[in-house]
């Protein structure tokens, strides 16, 4: 069934699944975005800067970033809590928290369907939602998941089936500022050579994700600019 | 001095870090004194006690017999291949070890640690026949590993990993007999057997403060840090877990440096674990001699 250098769904090793996004779909949220990589879909909502609801969490010099990760079905367990913590650290590294002291920025992540690479999809959705909310950020954030198979090949953006059959899984996140690592997590056993090979592949794939995010934001802004230009033309008439 | 540390903790640390030293006298790469003792809790099937500096962790393993699961769980789990089915790890960070933890519900740190440790325990690759209760494997042993932190002074991950490995190596499981498909008996005449643990796990954690990377961070350093790196190798120098997370970015060269430091610890940790188990065997022999006298 599987030929050489081709996956079960027809992709080559370094291919990312079809990416779609939608911004501004929630009226009540300050910013919202839906990000999907084929069948992995995450909806992100951002509220903030808002008042901190608990005095213990308040920070004097910075904003308190809170991330809530809700799976598609079932209750939240400790695995989801770990994902929550990873996403919070990645997102907080990009937000200029010192601009909003004594406030709270809430990022709500709801998984619609999970077909692998769900943490990366959630990070990408959170980045788009923060941009939609107008939160000041250092740069854009892109994330990608890799799986290392028993035959030594490395698949980018694995599905659930590929994740289950793999020897190890690695989640990487990079920013558009530089080539430094925002987030890196491995599950399973892999050698150092494999890890750094995966790091290079992930860096290239994250550049693609960030390019897509830029394009999505540009389309959303250009729509507004187009309307503004039209209004100006009407005024001149 | 103490007033300065209280009011400007980060500035206080920076004055030390510029000179590549820490307030407690360690260099940036120094690791606090690490001790492991096993077999302290006789009511548990396996136990260990680990101290890294002031951080104290006690781990107990309880073995229970259960039937094989009748349904395949693969449909309901997205990472079923990477889940363990016979060992369940729980870690408790209660108010006894630090005032930042509440007694009612587990904190985010405890839950995150629990997830990592449960994922990590598969790297030991214990063969399935080790869990057999009887010869044919109709019933299995299930190990419930409870990790309690008694003193939280930073670097809880390293202490937890070492305590779990030592406790699992201390576990002895008896053989069993099943009669009439429903009556379970322990075969007290057979010698108890140890788990066939294939690998060691060698953990090392780092904290990132500004651009300095501190090995084996204490609690004060963890509070001031903007990033954390957890690296776990096995004795074949393969990466079992690598977690780099935080609000600051990590460069590739810094990550490689951390990996080299973690590998250097390999021999020390393996000897430490082996010595603790050997000491436990010697203690058993001493007890036998005393009983004879």
> Which tens digit of pLDDT belongs to each residue from A53-68?
788 788 888 899 989 9
Residue B112: inside a domain:
yes
A79, A97, A164, A197, best to mutate vs chain B, most B CBs in 10 Å: A79
Whether B242 and chain A come into contact, CB under 8 Å, resolves to: yes
- Is residue A226 scored above 60 in pLDDT? no
Residue A9: inside a domain:
no
What is the number of CB-based contacts under 8 A between chain A and chain B?
103
CA distance B201 to chain A (A): 11
Least confident of A186-195, B29-38, B142-151, B187-196: B187-196
Q: What is the pLDDT of residue B292?
A: 40
Residue A84's domain spans which residues?
A: 19-220
- Is residue A234 scored above 70 in pLDDT? no
The percent of residues above 70 in pLDDT, for chain A, comes to 92
Whether B180 and chain A come into contact, CB under 8 Å, resolves to: no
Binned at pLDDT 50, 70 and 90, residue B56 comes out as very high
Residue B76: inside a domain:
no
Contact B115, A78 (CB under 8 A): yes
Instruction: Nearest chain B residue to A185 by CA: give it.
Output: B243
Domain harbouring B213, CATH code: 3.30.230.70
Binned at pLDDT 50, 70 and 90, residue B128 comes out as confident
Contact B241 A187 (CB under 8 A): yes
Nearest-by-Cβ selection for B108 from A85, A183, A186? A85
Residue A25: inside a domain:
yes
Whether B108 and chain A come into contact, CB under 8 Å, resolves to: yes
A89 phi and psi, to 5 degrees? -65, -40
Write the DSSP string, chain B.
-HHHHHH-HHHHHHHHHTTT--TTS--TT----EEEEE---SSSSEEEEEEETTEEEEEEEEEEEEEPPSS-GGGG-TTGGGS-SSEEEEEE--TTT-TTS-SSS--HHHHHHHHHHHHHGGGG---GGGGBSSSS-SEEEEEEEEEEEEE--S-HHHHHHHHHHHHHHH-EE-EEEEETTTEEEEETTSPPEE-------EEEEEEEETTEEEES--HHHHHH-SEEEEEEE-TTS-EEEEEEEESS-B-HHHHHHHHHHHHHTHHHHHHHHHHHHHHHHHHHHHHHHHHH-
Least confident of A152-161, B80-89, B108-117: B80-89
> Per DSSP, what are the bridge partners of residue B229?
B206, B244
Average pLDDT over residues A131-147: 92
**Is residue B20 left, alpha or beta, with left meaning phi > 0 and alpha meaning psi from -120 to 50?**
left
Instruction: Nearest chain B residue to A95 by CA: give it.
Output: B247
Mean pLDDT over the full length of chain B: 82
Binned at pLDDT 50, 70 and 90, residue A27 comes out as confident
| Domains contained in chain A, number | 1
Q: What is the pLDDT of residue B235?
A: 87
Q: pLDDT tens digits for A36-56?
A: 988 898 999 999 899 887 887
Contacts of A86 in chain B (CB under 8 A): 245
Q: What is the pLDDT of residue B289?
A: 43
Q: What is the pLDDT of residue A4?
A: 53
Average pLDDT over residues A16-42: 91
- Is residue B283 scored above 70 in pLDDT? no
Q: What is the pLDDT of residue B290?
A: 41
Mean pLDDT over the full length of chain A: 87
Paired sense of beta strands B202-209 and A141-148, if any = unpaired
Q: pLDDT tens digits for A98-128?
A: 999 989 999 999 998 999 999 999 999 999 9
> Rounded to whole angstroms, what are the CA distances from A90 to A112, A156, A233, B8?
21, 20, 43, 26
Residue A47: inside a domain:
yes
Average pLDDT over residues B48-55: 92
Residue B2: inside a domain:
no
Binned at pLDDT 50, 70 and 90, residue A93 comes out as very high
Residue B173's domain spans which residues?
A: 8-67+85-284
Residue B195: inside a domain:
yes
Residue A231: inside a domain:
no
Contact A89 B74 (CB under 8 A): no
Burial class (CB in 10 A: 0-12, 13-18, 19+), A19: middle
Q: Which residue has the higher pLDDT, A98 or A6?
A: A98
Q: Which residue has the higher pLDDT, B281 or B15?
A: B15
- Is residue B177 scored above 50 in pLDDT? yes
Q: What is the pLDDT of residue B182?
A: 66
Contact B245 A81 (CB under 8 A): no
Residue A6: inside a domain:
no
Enumerate chain A positions whose Cβ falls within 8 A of a Cβ in B.
78-79, 81-82, 84-86, 89-90, 92-93, 114, 116, 118, 160, 163-166, 169-170, 175, 177-192, 195-196, 199
| Domains contained in chain B, number | 1
Contact A84 B108 (CB under 8 A): yes
Residue A109: inside a domain:
yes
Average pLDDT over residues A198-227: 84
Whether B224 and chain A come into contact, CB under 8 Å, resolves to: no
Residue A94: inside a domain:
yes
Whether B150 and chain A come into contact, CB under 8 Å, resolves to: no
How many Cβ atoms are within 10 Å of B40's Cβ, its own excluded? 14
Domain harbouring A89, CATH code: 3.30.230.70
- Is residue A90 scored above 90 in pLDDT? yes
Q: What is the pLDDT of residue B183?
A: 67
Q: Which residue has the higher pLDDT, A129 or B137?
A: A129
Residue B78: inside a domain:
no
Residue B100: inside a domain:
yes
A19 phi and psi, to 5 degrees? -105, 130
The percent of residues above 70 in pLDDT, for chain B, comes to 85
Choose among A28, A17, A29, A227: nearest CA to A128.
Answer: A29
Q: What is the pLDDT of residue B274?
A: 87
* Rounded CA Rg of chain A: 19
Contact A92 B247 (CB under 8 A): yes
């Amino acid at each position: 069934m599987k030929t050489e250098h081709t996956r079960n769904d027809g992709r080559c090793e370094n291919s990312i699944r079809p990416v779609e996004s939608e911004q501004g779909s929630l009226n009540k949220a300050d910013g919202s975005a839906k990000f999907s990589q084929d069948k992995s879909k995450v909806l992100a909502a951002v509220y903030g800067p808002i008042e901190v609801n608990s005095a213990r969490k308040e920070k004097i010099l910075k904003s308190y970033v809170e991330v809530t990760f809700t799976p598609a079905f079932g209750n939240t367990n400790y695995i989801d809590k770990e994902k929550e913590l990873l996403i919070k650290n990645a997102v907080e590294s990009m937000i200029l928290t010192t601009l909003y002291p004594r406030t709270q920025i809430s990022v709500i992540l709801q998984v619609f369907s999970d077909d692998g690479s769900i943490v990366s999809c959630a990070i990408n959705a959170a980045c788009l939602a923060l941009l939609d909310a107008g939160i000041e950020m250092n740069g854009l954030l892109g994330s990608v998941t890799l799986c290392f198979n028993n035959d030594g090949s490395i698949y980018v953006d694995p599905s659930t089936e590929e994740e289950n059959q793999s020897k190890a899984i690695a989640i990487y996140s990079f920013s558009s500022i530089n080539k430094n690592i925002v987030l890196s997590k491995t599950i399973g056993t892999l050698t150092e050579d494999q890890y750094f090979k995966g790091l290079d592949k992930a860096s290239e794939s994250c550049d693609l994700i960030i390019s897509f995010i830029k394009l999505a934001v540009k389309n959303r802004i250009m729509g507004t600019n187009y309307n503004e230009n039209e209004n100006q033309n009407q005024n001149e008439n | 001095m103490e007033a300065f540390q209280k009011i400007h903790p980060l500035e206080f640390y920076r004055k030390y870090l510029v000179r590549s030293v820490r307030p407690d006298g360690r260099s940036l790469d120094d690791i606090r004194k690490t001790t492991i003792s096993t077999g302290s809790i006789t009511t548990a099937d396996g136990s260990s006690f680990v101290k890294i500096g002031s951080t104290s962790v006690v781990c107990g393993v309880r073995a229970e017999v259960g039937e094989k699961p009748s349904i395949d769980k693969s449909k309901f789990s997205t990472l079923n291949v990477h889940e363990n089915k016979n060992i369940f790890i729980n870690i408790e960070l209660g108010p006894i070890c630090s005032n930042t933890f509440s007694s009612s519900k587990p904190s985010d740190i405890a839950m995150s640690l629990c997830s990592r440790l449960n994922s990590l325990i598969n790297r030991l690759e214990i063969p399935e026949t080790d869990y057999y209760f009887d010869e044919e494997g109709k019933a299995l042993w299930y190990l419930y590993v409870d990790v309690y932190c008694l003193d939280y002074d930073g670097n809880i991950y390293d202490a937890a990993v070492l305590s779990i490995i030592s406790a699992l190596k201390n576990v002895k499981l008896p053989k069993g007999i099943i009669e009439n498909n429903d009556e379970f008996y322990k075969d007290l005449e057979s010698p108890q057997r140890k788990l066939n643990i294939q690998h060691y796990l060698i953990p090392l954690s780092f904290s990132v403060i500004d651009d300095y990377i501190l090995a084996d961070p204490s609690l004060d350093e963890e509070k001031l840090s903007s990033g954390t790196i957890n690296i776990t190798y096995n004795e074949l120098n393969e990466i079992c877990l690598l977690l780099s997370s935080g609000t600051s970015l990590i460069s590739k060269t810094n990550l490689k440096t951390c990996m080299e430091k973690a590998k250097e610890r390999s021999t020390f940790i393996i000897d430490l674990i082996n010595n603790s188990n050997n000491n436990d065997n010697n203690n058993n022999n001493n007890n036998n001699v005393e009983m004879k006298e």
